[in-house]
Amino acid sequence: MEASLKVKFNEDLKLALKSGDKVKLGTIRMVLANAKRAEDTKKNKLVVAAYQKAGITDLNQLEGHPELELSPDAISEIAKQAELNDADMLAVLAKEITQRRESIEAYKAGNRPDLVAVEDAELNVLLSYAPKQASREEIAVLAKRIITEVGAHGPSDKGKVMPKVIAELKGKADGKEINTVVTELLNAVH
């Protein structure tokens, strides 16, 4: 069985530390820190939902009332549910990749080749973890199928098409590219 993406990042973190690869080390640490933040956010939402289910809408009600707190078993279960799966890790990775690409463009515009080089090196590390990206043609084939499935008749149906295309291509295509292809296809439908 293939190791999860989170496990792969942690293993590669150790290897980068041992090898002294500062770029890879820093990049992986950043990804893992953002993954931890995403996990904490997910956990917090689950805790709030658990308390709301128990009828506690204001968490300030818990102060001075330990009997209202969640049981250790419930907290353990929430922690398990909050763990990021590969799809969640791919979302974190995609966000990091987008961030680097935007930074590269901004640094190029600001004539900062030194910073472009740093961001480009980090981007290459990130791309080594990303799944193979779908081509424009592959996006178009999928989008055409979904346009047919949902019975889209033009640009006004974009809200029916986009979520389905994005869900199927999560981590495998840039959202801007998906948007461009879907928009073109829907404009061509009459």
Burial of residue 152 (CB within 10 Å: 0-12, 13-18, 19+) is buried
* pTM score of the predicted model: 0.72
Q: How many domains does the chain have?
A: 2
The model's confidence at residue 190, banded by pLDDT at 50, 70 and 90, is: low
Buried b (16+ CB within 10 A) or exposed e, 72-99: eeeeeebeeebebebebbbbbbbebbeb
Give the CATH number, domain containing residue 55. Answer: 1.10.1510.10
Mean pLDDT of 10-34: 97
The model's confidence at residue 3, banded by pLDDT at 50, 70 and 90, is: low
Mean pLDDT of 158-176: 87
User: Which among 119, 83, 118, 102 has a CA at the least distance from the CA of 175?
Assistant: 102
The pLDDT tens digits for 117-137 are 999 999 999 999 988 888 999
Q: Say if residue 121 is in the same domain as residue 99.
A: yes
Range of the domain at 58: 5-127
In this structure, is the dihedral angle defined by the CA atoms of residues 136, 138, 139 and 140, taken in order, positive or negative?
A: positive
